[in-house]
C-alpha cells in the first residue's frame, strides 16, 4: 500500500561561517565554512511524512551540489562535497529496519540484549577533535583542552601536516596536558594530516611525531592511493602508529581494496560520503570479516547526528566489540538540528527519536541560507569591503 507520493522537493544552500573562529581548519582547508546542501522531500500522505537529507561541504562547492539535486542528479563524490545520504526523519516513524545473518549477531563476549543495555546505560565511546584545529592559537588550544579534560574527555585528535615544527609544538602541548606515556591506556592522542603528504613525506614526518605516541595518523596521503597507504602502514606499524582512513571513500569497493591491501588499522566510514545506509552497512560487514575496528569520521554539518545510528548498530548487531573502537565527535553546530546528538561522559548516547536525525531547524536554515539569509546578508558586504 502506497502511503503517499512525492509532492515537493526543496534544496537549500546552508552555510555556517565557521572560518571566522578558525573552527574546522586543517592542513588542506585553512578557512572552511562548514555547510550543507539541505534537501527536504515532502509527500501528500495524510500524516505529512517527509524525508530530509544532507550533503556536507566546506562552503565552496555547495552550489554545485545544490544544482545537481535540483535537477534530480545523483550525488558526486568529488571534492569538496560529501556524497549524498538521503534518509528521512519520517514523520515520527522509523525509516529503517535492518537485519543481519544469525551467525554474525551471535558472536561476541556478551549477547545482543546485553549489548543493547550497555549502550543505553553507557553509550558508545567517543573522541574529540574540537580542541586542536590548526586555526587555533596555542592559548585557545590549551583552554579548550583543559575544558575537555574537565568534561571527562580522554581521547583527543590533533590536526597536523602543514608545518613540522608547529606540529611538534602543538602535539607537545596536548601530550603535556593529557598525561605522560604511563597514562596512555586511558588518555589517547590521534593525529590527522587531511591528505597533505606524499608517501615518503608521510613516513618521514610521522617518524618524527612518533615520540608523542599517537594511536593513529589519519589520511596521511591521497585517499585514492591504496598502495600508498599500504606502504605507509608497513613503515609505521613497527613504531606503534596505525593508519586510519576512509572518510573520503565513496563506495564499498575502495574499502575492500584498502582491507585486502592491509593499508589501514582503523576504518573510517562517513555517513554522507558513502551513498546510502546500505552501502555503509556493507562496509561494516567487511570490516567485521577482516577484524578491523570501525572508527567513523564525524563532525561537519550533521555527521555526528547521522553516524551515531550506524556505529551503535555496528556494536549491537555486527562487531559485538568495543576493543580499539571509538567515534569522532566535534562540538559544533548541533544546536541547528531538531534531533541533536546526545553526549554523556564522552560517549554517544543512543538517540531516542526515530529516523536518521537529519532534520534541521527551519529557523536555522532560513538564517544561514546562502546568500540571502540574515547571517550572510551581514557578512558578505563586510567581506567584500
Catalytic residues, by residue number, are 159, 297
Spatial distance between the Cα atoms of 140 and 132, rounded to a whole number of angstroms: 9
Residue 19's CB: how many other CB atoms inside 10 A?
18
Q: Write the DSSP symbol of residue 93.
A: S
Spatial distance between the Cα atoms of 259 and 69, rounded to a whole number of angstroms: 32
On whether the CB atoms of residues 27 and 160 are closer than 8 A, the answer is: yes
CB neighbour class for 183 (10 Å; exposed up to 12, middle 13-18, buried from 19): exposed
Write the CA distances from 273 to 14, 149, 306, integer angstroms. Answer: 18, 31, 11
Look-up of cell digits 555517513: 271
Spatial distance between the Cα atoms of 105 and 89, rounded to a whole number of angstroms: 27
Q: In the numeric block, which cell numbers belong to residue 250?
A: 565513496
Q: What is the DSSP string of 339-365?
A: S--EEETTEEEPPSSSS-S-PBPHHHH
Write the CA distances from 260 to 75, 120, 226, integer angstroms. Answer: 27, 35, 10
Please give the radius of gyration of the chain, using alpha carbons only, rounded to the nearest integer. Answer: 20
The dihedral sign for the CA sequence 143, 146, 150, 156: positive
Whether the link from the prior residue into 325 is cis, omega within 30° of 0, is no
- DSSP, collapsed to helix, strand or coil, labels residue 198 as coil
Q: Write the DSSP symbol of residue 75.
A: P
Amino acid at each position: 500500500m502506497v502511503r503517499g507520493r512525492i509532492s515537493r522537493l526543496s534544496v537549500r544552500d546552508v552555510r555556517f561561517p565557521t572560518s571566522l573562529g578558525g573552527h574546522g581548519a586543517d592542513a588542506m582547508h585553512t578557512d572552511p565554512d562548514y555547510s550543507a546542501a539541505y534537501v527536504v522531500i515532502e509527500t501528500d500522505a495524510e500524516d505529512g511524512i517527509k524525508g530530509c537529507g544532507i550533503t556536507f561541504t566546506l562552503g565552496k562547492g555547495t552550489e554545485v551540489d545544490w544544482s545537481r539535486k535540483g535537477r534530480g542528479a545523483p550525488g558526486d563524490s568529488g571534492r569538496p562535497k560529501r556524497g549524498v545520504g538521503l534518509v528521512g526523519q519520517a514523520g515520527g516513524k522509523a525509516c529503517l529496519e535492518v537485519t543481519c545473518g544469525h551467525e554474525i549477531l551471535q558472536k561476541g563476549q556478551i549477547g545482543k540484549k546485553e549489548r543493547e543495555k550497555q549502550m543505553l546505560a553507557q553509550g558508545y565511546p567517543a573522541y574529540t577533535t574540537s580542541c586542536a584545529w590548526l586555526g587555533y592559537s596555542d592559548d585557545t588550544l590549551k583552554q579548550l583542552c583543559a575544558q575537555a579534560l574537565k568534561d571527562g574527555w580522554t581521547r583527543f585528535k590533533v590536526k597536523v601536516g602543514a608545518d613540522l615544527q608547529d606540529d611538534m609544538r602543538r602535539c607537545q602541548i596536548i601530550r603535556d596536558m593529557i598525561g605522560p606515556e604511563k597514562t596512555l591506556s586511558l588518555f589517547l592522542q590521534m593525529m590527522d594530516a587531511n591528505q597533505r603528504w606524499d608517501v615518503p613525506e608521510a613516513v618521514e614526518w610521522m617518524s618524527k611525531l612518533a615520540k608523542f605516541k599517537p594511536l593513529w595518523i589519519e589520511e596521511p596521503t591521497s585517499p585514492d592511493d591504496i598502495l600508498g597507504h599500504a606502504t605507509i602502514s608497513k613503515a609505521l606499524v613497527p613504531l606503534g602508529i596505525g593508519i586510519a582512513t576512509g572518510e573520503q571513500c565513496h563506495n564499498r569497493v575502495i574499502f575492500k581494496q584498502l582491507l585486502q591491501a592491509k593499508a589501514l588499522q582503523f576504518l573510517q566510514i562517513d555517513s554522507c560520503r558513502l551513498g546510502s545506509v546500505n552501502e555503509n552497512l556493507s562496509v561494516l560487514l567487511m570490516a567485521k570479516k577482516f577484524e578491523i575496528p570501525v572508527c567513523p569520521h564525524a563532525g561537519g554539518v550533521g555527521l555526528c547526528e547521522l553516524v551515531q545510528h550506524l556505529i551503535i548498530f555496528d556494536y549491537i548487531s555486527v562487531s559485538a566489540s568495543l576493543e580499539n573502537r571509538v567515534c569522532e565527535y566535534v562540538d559544533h553546530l548541533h544546536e541547528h538540528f531538531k534531533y541533536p546528538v546526545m553526549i554523556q561522559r564522552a560517549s554517544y548516547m543512543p538517540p531516542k527519536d526515530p529516523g536518521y536525525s537529519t532534520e534541521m531547524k527551519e529557523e536555522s536554515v532560513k538564517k544561514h541560507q546562502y546568500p540571502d539569509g540574515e547571517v550572510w546578508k551581514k557578512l558578505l558586504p563586510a567581506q567584500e569591503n
